[in-house]
Amino acid sequence: MTTAPAVGQRERILDQALDLMASRGAQAMTMRNLAGACGIAVSGLYYYFPSKKALLAAVIQERQWDVRLANIPDDLGAQPPADRLASLCEAILIGSLEEQRVWRVLMAEACRSSDDAVSVGSELLGDVTVGFTRWVETLFPEAEDSNAMAALVVEQLFAFLVEVLFLGDDQALRSARVRTAALGSLLFPPA
């Protein structure tokens, strides 16, 4: 007779996996040490996640970025376009700070040429680009090229994530605000 999995067990495994990946790196985390940290047998992990790649993908999916990206921000009001862009980028950057551990794991593992991280990260990048393009099309009808503008917003996000590594949250946020204001002036010059 098979015992039913504990309620919330999958979520606890994902939380512990993120903790271990953030502290040791995804490649250094083994299913065995994750099972030990969770207090379950290794076979219990494989009940939920058939591979380490599936586990990494689940850690990313747990963040529900697809749901977040489906919800177009509606609190930008009737601001001028450059101000709307600044507000949108600010919201994106602050949101990325809340998920900083996940971004750090993905970027670190991609730098180590981890096939799993590159695969999962590429999929996430595609989702982010599609989501930001949808946001730009809706929030900036005056934009001449929504795809190019969305690509610039994605680039702002990644520049910010790299700056956070070296400058810290506050200084990186200040730097990003300056870049975003300059970008807004270039895309939407004052009349």
pLDDT for position 1 = 43
pLDDT tens digits for range 62-84: 776 767 777 777 777 688 999 88
Contacts of 155 (CB under 8 A, 6+ apart): none
Element (H, E) at 48: helix 42-48
Residues in Cβ contact with 1 at an 8 Å cutoff, skipping those fewer than 6 apart: none
pLDDT for residue 7 is more than 70: no
Quick one: how far is CA 174 from the chain centroid?
20
What pTM was estimated for this model as a whole? Answer: 0.75
Structure tokens at 61: 């999916």
